[in-house]
Structure 1
Amino acid sequence: MATAGGGWEEEQHGCRGSRLQADESFCSWECLVFTLQWPGGFCQSLNNESLCRIPEDVKGWTIHGLWPQTRTSCRCWPLFPSDIQELQDELEDQWPSLLKTRTSFTFWKEEWEKHGSTAACVEGLNSPLRYFQVCLKLRAQMDIQRLLEAASITPSCDQPYQVEDVKKALVPVVGHLAEVQCVKDEQGRQVWFQVKVPLSRSLITGCTSHAEEGRRFSETPGLDSSASPGHPCPPDTPLYFVPIDHQRPYRPCG
């Protein structure tokens, strides 16, 4: 049960928010990564085309997660529907599950227990409600769809785009260190999949600790063998920004 200070009952869950704050193994990270995914590209990342679903009301970029960049994970603070009940409608719109085998709440639960609970040593993220509120606020601030449209970068089955042009269009809201990720489709084309935005603990774009050490920003470094198949889009290869097709999510281009 969450307390007013953002902790939780030690008797029920075995640890407190203050313990997270004091535990260096959970709190030594410097950067977080906020990741947005393009549903049309996400479906191309799946080996089984029957798994993908795009809810009818999803028309644009959705949240994938907010991940502290650390090789440790708390996984010690469960999520319950009542924790985020007041945000459910907004989360369904901005952070839906795109897998038929996973409900949206299951998706949120996985992200909180794997990443949010580890981020909880930062005061502004120290409860499920605050973590998801921050993610929604970041999504609203990072209106990359508006920037892309202003740069005439719109979904298309036939029009390729240069990676440098895409990055340039996004700089005003994601900064210079954001990673544009692709996956390969069945035709071997580079298909735009995600944008990973490095943030400091104070949620300012441009955290450089990973960049300076030459590491890639990742979801669960060293923890999850089912990591995303996404990779940085090759700078010398055009990328495709495929449309969203709610009826044929895996094959938007036929």
Structure 2
Amino acid sequence: MLLCLLALAGASTLLCAAAESENKPFCSWTCAVFTLQWPGAFCQSLDDTSLCKLLPDVNSWLIHGLWPQKIQQCCRCWNMFASDVQDIRGPLEEKWPSLLTSRSSLRFWKDEWEKHGACAGCVEGLNSPLAYFSTCLKLRQRFDLQKALEDAGVTPSCQRPYKLAEVQKALLPLAGGDKMEIQCIKDHQEREVWFQTKIQLSRNMSLGCPHDSGGGGSSGGRHHDGKDGGSSSGGHPCPDGEAFYYVPIDHQHPLRPCG
């Protein structure tokens, strides 16, 4: 109860101290994963594809979340309210909207905060909902996948497949290529389709995480986007040496952008 009251008051420093005093390492994480998702393939990743929506202004890579890894203990009762992110509501709607008909963007943000943000909240720069979401927006600006890909001639296509080495080379200016996990899903034609990108970060948000062998932790595998049945497959690493597709965003036919 003490932990929750302190969290609700925004006293992250006291929260960490209280947790440590109970021998529960609240702030034990050293690595995080910043995940971006590609709307062109998102709908095909859903268990219930009827829940998918792609609004007309969705035309670029979107934030999925910032996930501290290998969390041992955190308070799950540090609530978030709409007023916490009111000052950045516009940018969040643009870069981090919900793509589910059954869930508002605010509900999406609350879910991400309660599951991941509150666990990161003892770190300076992430120690409130506003700080956490503001940092995510800065990371999205920093890791502009679309520009890096376009500059390298990697563009969405239903006819042109890509190899992992091509994509990694295109992203070399952003992350050295090897600090990102390129994830795929299989579409209705059983083709590998680029679905999302996971970027490894250290606790101070610098690129890479030497303390982690990569990928696992609290957010490995299947990631649930909400409590409303709209769960999404976490995808799998795009196969090395095998072609995969970077499909276009089709607002009219989001489930089958390539027919």
TM-score, scaled to structure 1: 0.89
Partner of 1:231: 236
Instruction: Verify: 1:54 aligned to 2:59, yes or no.
Output: no
CA contact (8 A) 2:33 2:201 kept: yes
Deviation of residue 46 (structure 1)? 1.3
Tell me, in whole angstroms, the C-alpha distance in 1 between the residues paired with 2:188 and 2:181. Answer: 23
Match of 2:227 in 1: none
Cα deviation, residue 31, structure 1: 0.3
Counterpart position of 2:247: 242
What is aligned with 2:228? Answer: none
Letter in 1 for 2:237: P
In structure 1, distance between residues paired with 2:192 and 2:4: 48
- Number of equivalenced pairs: 244
In structure 2, the CA distance between the partners of 1:12 and 1:117, relative to structure 1 (3 Å rule), is closer
Check conservation: 1:9, 1:16, Cα contact below 8 A: no
* 1:9 CA drift (Å): 8.9
Distance of aligned partners of 1:223 and 1:245 in 2 relative to their CA distance in 1, 3 Å threshold: closer
Decide whether the 8 Å contact of 2:223 with 2:233 is kept in 1.
no
In 1, Cα distance between equivalents of 2:232 and 2:108:
15
Aligned to 1:152: 153
One-letter amino acid matched to 2:204: S
What SS does structure 2 have at the residue aligned with 1:91? helix
Aligned-residue Cα RMSD (Å) equals 2.3
**Cross-structure match for 1:4:** none
- Give distance in 2, aligned partners of 1:45 and 1:87: 28
CA shift, 1:218, in A, is: 5.5
Give per-residue Cα distances to partners, 1:117-161, cap 9 Å, x unaligned: 110110111011000100000001111111111111101111100
CA–CA distance in structure 1, aligned partners of residues 154 and 222 of structure 2: 35
Whichever residue aligns with residue 181 of structure 1, its letter is Q
Taking the TM superposition and a 5 Å limit, the aligned residue runs for 1:1-40 are: 10=5, 13=8, 16-22=11-17, 23=19, 24-40=24-40
Cross-structure match for 2:66: 66
Structure 1: how far apart are the matches of 2:134 and 2:41? 26
- Please name the residue that 2:97 is paired with: 96
Aligned twin of 1:251: 256
What stretches of structure 2 of length at least 5 have no aligned partner? 225-230
- Do residues 207 (structure 1) and 217 (structure 2) align? no
Percent of residue pairs bearing the same amino acid type: 53
Is residue 2:95 matched to residue 1:106?
Answer: no
Q: What residue identity is the alignment partner of 2:257?
A: P
Q: Secondary structure at the match of 1:179?
A: strand
**Runs of 4 or more off by more than 6 Å in structure 1?**
222-225
